[in-house]
Structure 1
Amino acid sequence: MLMKKALVVSMVTAVVSTSVVSAVSAAPAAKAAATGKVQQSSFKINGNTVSVRSIIKNGETLVSVRDLITAFSAQADVRSGTTTIKLNDHTVVLRSNSKQIIIDGTASNMSQPMTNIEGSSYVAVRPLISGLGGTLVRNAGVIEISTIELLEGAENPRFAGAGKLIVSKSGENGRTDYLIDTASGQYDLLLTTTGGSDLVVAPSGDKAAYSSAEGAVYVVDLKSKASKLITNDNSIKSEFVWSTDGSEIYFLQGDKGSVIAKLSLSDGVMTKIVEDKVDYKENLSVSPDGKKFIYTVTTLGTVTSDATNVDEDNVSIDFSSNQTQINAFNIENSTPKASALTSTTDDKVFVVSNDGLKAYYVSVPSAEDKATLMSVDSSSQMVKIFTDHDVEQVVLHQNTLYVLAALDDTSSVIYAIDTLTGKQTKLYTVSSDVSSIVVNGSQIAIVKNDQVFVSAGDSWKSVTK
């Protein structure tokens, strides 16, 4: 059952109660607060570093209610020892020397009462933040708090430079893309399209490309959010791959993905590179020099009965010959032509390459066996890279493979594998509910139950809801 998840996830990609997430449930200690003594502690609130009075009492961090209200710009009313705080459509009511906290009309008890110290009220930080709809994690010993209303129902996260994510929401009127600040959760409208392709971010992280439903190609500046038309050619273009220097975009052209072409951003000129009349190319990877290509080719079923009248019910198709194979193409060869790297009948998903010579992929052999991470080179030599657990996804970033694999029915693990040395490093144990990972350098995001989290030191921080 675990193996099947890999194939399901791959199909979704193509067309965290984690142990780390759970670690933030324990109230973290303020970095500068000493037990029994009020001190100024450095918190990060909504992406900004703020000095907050705090104290450690009975092993729990209490913070100045006044300081937090000021930092959040929340509405507050204090009358006869009762403090009412309103923020983001949430209302929290606290009473002096009482453990009771009333959140949106529902009462519960904190571990210790709101306490008056040196003329100011102090309360446990976690229940207050939770009551106001915020989140709290500890990153490198610093408490990070966000009370910004998060985007709901977002999908398909992609990193866009340092500290930024692009996410999308689809509806009846098309797709809307948003740019999220991973430090604060603040989001801004980026683009609204109808029938357009997904945004593909350039290596620099400052721009992204997409095609309209009519085939025109645009590049959007992620800072100004302005889109520039590169070409209005109406041929179908899919699977954009940026050149290393960001000056060109490679893509598959045609309704069957038969042609590999490139587009110059400076003048809009399109050039066909591979036109071998082989249909159904997918999973395009391009070498840094733009001369070598890795892609998959899928063969379709064959008609096994007389098909002179395709409307007849007795027309049958044999799907047993359906296979996905990995091909390589080097335009520098004396006689350029596709070279088949694989011939096996296993399902091959998450096919990636960083040099156009060797491909990495997840092999899904059968419903009974584990999915494994494989490599195959120009000599068609296949090597097992990761076999410890049932592989669910693989992401290649520069010279590192990031693997999401099922540990058991409740947990998954994320590994980093150096493609040069083969060294494997276990990064995280997460919930089996984590369906995918996104990586950009040291930045890692996960998707769990349709919610996006980013790595925050020894915790995961939600950036969508």
Structure 2
Amino acid sequence: MNRNMLTVIATSLALSTIISTSAVSAAEVNKGQASIAAVTKEAAKASNLSIGVDGVSNNIRTLNVKGTVLYSVRDIANIFGADIQAESKSVITLVGGNPAQTITVRVNSGAYEVDGATKNFSVAPLEQKGVIYAELNALVEALGGEVSGSGSKLDVVSVKPLEGDFSSPRVNSNGEVIAARESDGTVQLYKWNPTYRVYDALTSNENAASTAVSPDLKWGVFTDESSQLYLLDLSLGTAQAIGKDTSVKTDLTWSADGKKVYFVQGDKQEKIAYVSVDSGKITSVLADKVENKSDIRLSADDKTVLYAVNITGVAKNDKDSTEDSLSIDFSGAGSQLFTLDLTAKDAKPVQLTTSTDNKLYPNLLSDGTIVYVSGDADGAVENNVLKVVQAKEKKVSDLVADLDVSLAVTSAKGQLIIVATEKDGKSSIYAVKSDGSKSKLYTNDGAITEVFPSADGSQVAVIENGQVKLAANNQAVTLTK
């Protein structure tokens, strides 16, 4: 056997060895890849999960990968009404959201794009049977929404909650919550659907923030800078002038029949009058020249008006009226409550109280009972007490004294609602009956500064630490950040 033949044989043996080794290696690799694929397939289990989206239950395809749940990108896009621009087994591009953006998701890539900006997933998206799955929070955020809850109790809102400090809560006849937000020196009123937690702008008229709401919760009235009256549609946000009178008007209050709006009139708050909502005609009710009237309330039968008078100090001096002898007597100063019979001709106001305590948030209940929050003018009494006034006897007594009461309002149907601080420092909302019995509607650690009840008082719009909430049954839906 010559040298050349030996070389050929040796080369052939070497090649054969290499080929055999390569074949074995390739087989091992393919076996390993198949094993990994099998493990991944076994670990990634597809199923459906029901999640709440704007208050409506939706079934979403999911993929559970070793305890991490990924969600169908297409299903989430459909929830937000986003359009699928391109889709394959490796990439999906969609356009939509609030505001609309272009979002691109790639399988097995930790990076995704939102309007050209690169962001990162915590877990890379996966594909199974033609469906691409990705992280829920990242997808929803990219589409302009927000996720709350966890596990089987997930909720998605398609629009992120408004942020800021809010005030002036109201409720309209649709059950929507209304509140004002001040930003950059301007005031905007919004309305929220508390079930879906979505919102719309209502009006940018900042004067509407102080609107007085009609008994049917459909209308509001407010005045502008010139004291012109306006009627506000609480569903649409449109406003129209009532009459042309521009005399000073404060403390707007609707009559129970919704046909009139009573108010304190005059530069010195010395009169009480009402305006016909239909005609704009103003009628004087009381012009006794007593100044500093406020807090008008109407009885359920529209026969009695309750109001407060802030009595100031009385100037005293000697018979010569010298400057040195001038002094102010504050012994009779303070707020006092009065009623006026609207059915009797030439009726005179009846003074109900004479005590020196601060009389805050007076209310006239449907059974004729008068209540108010009593605050000690000298600060000697720690808690504010809810007082009740028996009008005929002019007798004042405690109604709720075991809490530090800060607010008292009455719903359109006559339910008394109070806000109080508990002994543990928490803020609570109670529904109170005329006999003093009460039931708790809500309690929390936050500071409750304003409330407005629904017509029957079962739900209460709340401003708590600047946030808008709707409270009921000792729970609250948070509508803003």
2:17 is matched with: none
In structure 2, the gaps of 5 or more residues are: 1-44
Q: How does 1:138-217 map to 2 (within 5 A)?
A: 144-153=155-164, 154-170=166-182, 175-182=187-194, 183-192=196-205, 198-217=210-229
Whether 2:339 is the aligned partner of 1:328: answer: yes
Distance 1:463 1:305, change over 3 A: farther
Q: 2:352 aligns with which of 330, 341, 346?
A: 341
2:453 is matched with: 439
Aligned-pair CA distance for 1:124: 6.7
Contact 1:44 1:142 in 2 (8 A): no
The 2-side partners of 1:451 and 1:48 are apart by 24
Per-residue Cα deviation, 1:138-193 (whole angstroms, up to 9, x for no partner): 7xx98543232444444212112223233234578765434443334321242525
The 1-side partners of 2:72 and 2:105 are apart by 13
RMSD after superposition: 4.4
Distance 1:430 1:218, change over 3 A: same
The 2-side partners of 1:362 and 1:161 are apart by 28
Distance 1:178 1:387, change over 3 A: same
**Identity score, percent:** 27
Contact 1:197 1:213 in 2 (8 A): no
The 2-side partners of 1:169 and 1:348 are apart by 29
Letter in 1 for 2:78: T
1:449 is matched with: 465
Distance 1:225 1:448, change over 3 A: closer
Aligned-pair CA distance for 1:205: 2.3
Using structure 2 for the length normalisation, give the TM-score: 0.71
1:220 is matched with: 232
The 2-side partners of 1:271 and 1:244 are apart by 17
Distance 1:437 1:329, change over 3 A: same
Distance 1:381 1:243, change over 3 A: same
2:78 is matched with: 70
Q: 2:430 aligns with which of 415, 418, 421?
A: 415
Aligned-pair CA distance for 1:263: 1.0
SS in 1 for 2:79: helix
Structure with greater helix share of residues? 2
Instruction: Give 1 or 2 for the bigger CA radius of gyration.
Output: 2
The 2-side partners of 1:126 and 1:406 are apart by 37
Q: 2:53 aligns with which of 39, 44, 53?
A: 44
SS in 1 for 2:74: helix
Aligned-pair CA distance for 1:298: 0.8
Whether 2:370 is the aligned partner of 1:359: answer: yes
2:478 is matched with: 462
Contact 2:432 2:439 in 1 (8 A): yes
2:300 is matched with: 288
The 2-side partners of 1:458 and 1:101 are apart by 42
In structure 1, the gaps of 5 or more residues are: 1-35
Greater RCO (Cα-Cα under 8 Å, separation 6 or more): 1
Whether 2:373 is the aligned partner of 1:373: answer: no
The 2-side partners of 1:304 and 1:37 are apart by 88
Aligned-pair CA distance for 1:431: 1.9
Aligned length: 421
Distance 1:71 1:296, change over 3 A: same
Bigger Cα displacement from structure 2, 432-441 vs 317-326: 317-326
